[in-house]
Copies of this chain bind each other. A is one copy, B any other.
Amino acid sequence: MAALPDRAARIALSCVVDAGDPSLAALVAEVGASEAWARVIDSALGEPAARRAAQFDHRQVEILSRHYRVRFVVPGDEEWPAGLDDLRFVAPIQRRAGVPIGLWLRGPRHLGDLSGRAVAIVGSRAATAYGIEAATDLATDLAAGGWTVVSGAAHGIDAAAHRAAVAAGGATLAVLANGVDIAYPKGNATLLSAIAQDHLIVSELPPGQSPSRIRFLARNRIIAAAAVGTVVVEAAHRSGARNTASWTVECGRPLMAVPGPVYSAMSAGPHQLVRDGRASLVTCAAEVLELVSALGSNVAVEQRGPDRPTDGLDEQRLSVFEALPARAFATVEDVSRRSGHPVPTVLAQLAALERAGLAEVEERGWRTSRDGSASTTGRGGQAHG
């Protein structure tokens, strides 16, 4: 069988391996998508995936994609959101992990633009009237301030946040645990169709796929990574929103929680997150922006691209950049030693430098990018799957 090109291999992989399989993420990171596809056929990820791969028909995807005006974006595409690459460094939560091998998109907005200045608002399906009001007010004010509201299109808090952003004339991004062509839950069909019409729906899963518990857990990491920070509005002690909260903390993004009456079971989750020191208490959009606006504008600066490659780098990032060799390759430990920063700091700064096209990584290690635009070299613009 002839090797599939990178993009086609990613599409094929997304159709035969379940979302967020950390073995797939590791395999693609190691050998690239084309080789990963060949190995999946050779049972590298088990017999069931190999059987699905053998039966995979590319024409099916094309038909679905055209019919639903769906596109597929991959890391390195101009539309790919830089924030999602942070998932490389994130430890698996409940067996899900890794940078998505690609994302299915439906809707007219630009994913990279939306994600650069975005706050996730998540919470319980069984929200109270108080929670709905709080989510609505937060989303309205954030959307009016030019921030994308990211959520999961579930009943309750999620739907209230999306609706408020739409009503405020802002932008919203719905991240689904099923195909972007499927209206789930059915009660939110009108809302999802409005989002598909004027905003953006995203999923790691190909068209036609239904949600499952494991897909929800994998989806939550994309909500956390696609936003600059996450607000938990209402959540019971055990709640999916707490899974998104964990991803947010793992991604190194600010986690925020809205307080409520101590007698409300739906506020027990947010209160616990504050008590554990994991979330900051927030009561309004201004307090959310205090925590995320610096991050949002940093991302924005990187996306605009500086006049000189290193313009606009802060002192720490510049010192990591300057510790990189131009021709040889350096390990993260080398860079840590040369720059004087600890390894986690170096990892985070290298990721940012790579996103800015200033550093590149191979199996041998890290070095400065040779043409200052490594992150887009040889990958072309976005194409429709």
Q: Measuring CB to CB, which residues of chain A are less than 8 angstroms from any residue of chain B?
A: 130, 133-134, 258-263, 267-268, 271, 274-275, 280-284, 287
Contacts and interface: CB of A to CB of B under 8 A. Distances in A.
A262 B261 contact: no
Contact of A259 (B133, B260, B280, B284): B260
A281 B271 contact: yes
B284 A262 contact: yes
A331 to B, nearest CB: 37
A302 B258 CA distance: 41
Contacts of A281: 259, 271, 274-275, 281
B280 A275 contact: yes
Nearest to A271: B283
A284 B275 CA distance: 12
A262 B271 contact: no
Contacts of A261: 130, 259-261
A-B CB proximity, top 3 nearest: A259-B259, A262-B283, A274-B281
A287 B275 CA distance: 10
A16 to B, nearest CB: 46
Given A133-B263, A259-B261, 18 more contacts: A130-B261, A258-B262, A259-B259, A259-B267, A259-B271, A259-B274, A260-B260, A260-B261, A260-B262, A261-B261, A262-B283, A262-B284, A271-B283, A274-B281, A275-B281, A275-B282, A275-B287, A281-B281
A231 B25 CA distance: 49
A280 B259 CA distance: 13
A259 B274 CA distance: 11
